[in-house]
Structure 1
Amino acid sequence: MKRYSILILGLIYSVFAKGQSTQWLTGIRDTSYSSAGDYRNNLKNYPFIKLVMPQKFANVKEKPGLVYAKTGERELHLDAFLPGDKKGGKTPAILIVHGGGWRSGDRSQHIPLAQHLADKGIAAFTVEYRLSTEALYPNAVFDVKAAVRWLKANAKSLNVDTGKVALLGFSAGGQLAALAGVTSAVKKLEGDFGNVGYSSKVNAVIDIDGTLSFVHPDSWETQNPGTFGASGMWFGYPRTERIDLWTEASPFTYAGQNTTPFLFLNSSVVRMHAGRDDWKKQMDQKGVYTEIVNFKDSPHSFCLYEPWFDPMLGNITAFIAKVFK
């Protein structure tokens, strides 16, 4: 009942709300978040970490800079990492969505992960999407779904099984992957470009420390309602004005209708896990496979570093093998 009360309250707020602020649309790329910078910041508390770097695998074919959609004059790109010829037919696929607070970061962040996944027989794609310096919510959601549709439209040439497609995201990318993964039936969040004749439905979601709810009682945004941070820049509204949008963008809002298996890979940063346990409880009651893996004493960006990268890779491949068997 509490969730529905929030929705109703949000609708009331929306009547009196001001227009979406465009002051954050600078048109200038925000480079404040990068893997190298994150590494330097984490060394103080984790002096033993090693940033996982890109490497070439003999059996992986790389196709960088592919255009997956075009909106207006803007081309959107992804990089493809395809397993070499192997017996067994079509491969599963994972589209990888980077983090950076919906405002910074880029798809190169997860090239090492994509390379390792392809080496293990899973086609992987690192996806660009429009950040809040360029386009506000829900445009990034439209972009991610367009990438899914592109994959399905080109599945034959990519040797991908369209019944075995997963979305994976880290941090802000985890929120986007989760939201796109549970809203294929929500027309408002589909967008009107990029292979619109294909479905944006995916068969699994892997959420790496991504926000599951902006309005859950345990969420950082709920506990800091007066703070206008990266999420506010993305929405173009403070939470107090358009809580209906913050609710709409929360994957947890769609838990009741979800049938997609989830894997949560989480750091030891507790605030990133709001709603996760409640989500699993609901999925367990419905019989929807949900797995949670916690990485003890790890930073938010643990997925970029050893000693956590290899076990995380094992968790991902095991999850894919289980849900796509």
Structure 2
Amino acid sequence: MRYKILLLILLFVDVFQAHSQFKRDTSFTTYSAFTKEKKHYPEIEIAKLPLAKNTLEKLNIPYKNLGYRKLNLDITYPKKEKKGGYPVVILLFGGGWKSGDKSMCNPQARFLADNGYVAVSVEYRLSPESKYPAAVLDVKEAIRWVRLHAKEYNIDPYHIAVLGRSAGGQLAALIGSTGGDKKYQSGQNLFLSDDVQAVVDIDGILAFHHPESLEGEAASEWLGGTYQEKPAVWDQASALNNVSSQTPPILFINSSNPRFHAGRDDMIKKLNELNIYSEVHEIPNTPHPFWLFNPWFNETNNFTLKFLDKVFKED
């Protein structure tokens, strides 16, 4: 018995050391993106939004225990109670599946909360720490956590959207098209659904291996190998290959960079064949991380709000 306990302790120590020593990639931040894009778009400003008087914000709430550390989320929500609760938007940051953090979503979260939504900005594991499908499992667990805590935050658990930007947009589309998929069933609260009822994909690719795709090193790092090494994984992780009659309505908001539209038009064709509602808004003369900056921050939010109101408040 003591021998077994010792083995378990040694195994835990090995796992802890392996994961606690990973080097965080801090190359993508709002400021680093601003510094880069300011050279080409001198008029831009970092979008900031104060917390409205009618909203509350709680930061760094643990939703998943990895053993060696916890994953957290931020919740921004209306103060006023509402019968049946408010619809929810799960927000996913971008950064090539290797960098970025949830705080980059908070200005948009504040906008959504001020307009009648509960906004949840989620931390998920990045490629320096864990490869695919870790991030997918994390976000799906966050969705179940939100349903578990619906009463606490005046949430309507039947109206949940997932919104992501760049790599987060890719994740949002994949998560939206794989609700209930058994290969992603892992973690806590599995008695609750990980389905979502709407997706907002902001400049996230829909297919990793596609005539329009230019994915390379960052995707290979996250997916655990190149397409030649892991073709099945590259295909599995592409939302385009997971569209079904259960896929929810999707809003695509895109920059003028065609690289980040990969697979979008083919996905829309599939959605149309299944009579699933979708919208596309391509904002001209925009850099990839346009959503972080004025003058495009409000435009992005207005497209998002109009879509969510149509899907959730007109049904």
Q: How high is the TM-score relative to the length of structure 1?
A: 0.88
- Match in the other structure for 2:248: 260
- Match in the other structure for 1:96: 91
- Match in the other structure for 1:109: 104
Contact 1:24–1:236 (8 Å) recurs in 2: no
Structure 1: which 4+ aligned runs deviate by more than 3 Å?
23-26, 86-89
**Identity across aligned pairs (percent)?**
42
TM-superposed CA distance for 1:263, in Å, is 0.3
The 3 A distance-change label for structure 1 pair 113 and 206 is same
TM-superposed CA distance for 1:256, in Å, is 3.6
Distance across 2 between alignment mates of 1:273 and 1:97 = 18
State the number of aligned residues: 296
Contact 1:25–1:135 (8 Å) recurs in 2: no
Alignment of 1:1-325 (within 5 A): 27-85=22-80, 89-190=84-185, 192-221=186-215, 227=216, 229-324=217-312, 325=314
Q: Please give the secondary structure, in 1, of the residue aligned with 2:131.
A: coil
The 3 A distance-change label for structure 1 pair 152 and 234 is same
Moved more, 280-289 or 35-44: 280-289
Distance across 2 between alignment mates of 1:295 and 1:121 = 25
Which residue identity lines up with residue 245 of structure 1 in the other structure? V
Which residue identity lines up with residue 31 of structure 2 in the other structure? A
- Match in the other structure for 1:12: none
Distance across 2 between alignment mates of 1:159 and 1:118 = 12
Distance across 1 between alignment mates of 2:208 and 2:35 = 29
- Match in the other structure for 2:7: none
TM-superposed CA distance for 1:24, in Å, is 11
Distance across 2 between alignment mates of 1:63 and 1:139 = 25
Contact 1:92–1:161 (8 Å) recurs in 2: yes
TM-superposed CA distance for 1:231, in Å, is 0.8
Aligned-CA RMSD value: 1.7
Distance across 1 between alignment mates of 2:176 and 2:29 = 26
Moved more, 242-251 or 65-74: 65-74
Distance across 1 between alignment mates of 2:182 and 2:67 = 20
Q: Please give the secondary structure, in 1, of the residue aligned with 2:281.
A: strand
Distance across 2 between alignment mates of 1:316 and 1:289 = 14
Q: Please give the secondary structure, in 2, of the residue aligned with 1:65.
A: strand
Q: Please give the secondary structure, in 2, of the residue aligned with 1:264.
A: strand
Q: How high is the TM-score relative to the length of structure 2?
A: 0.90
Distance across 2 between alignment mates of 1:145 and 1:87 = 25
Distance across 2 between alignment mates of 1:179 and 1:160 = 23
Q: Which runs of 5+ in 1 are unaligned?
A: 1-22, 222-226
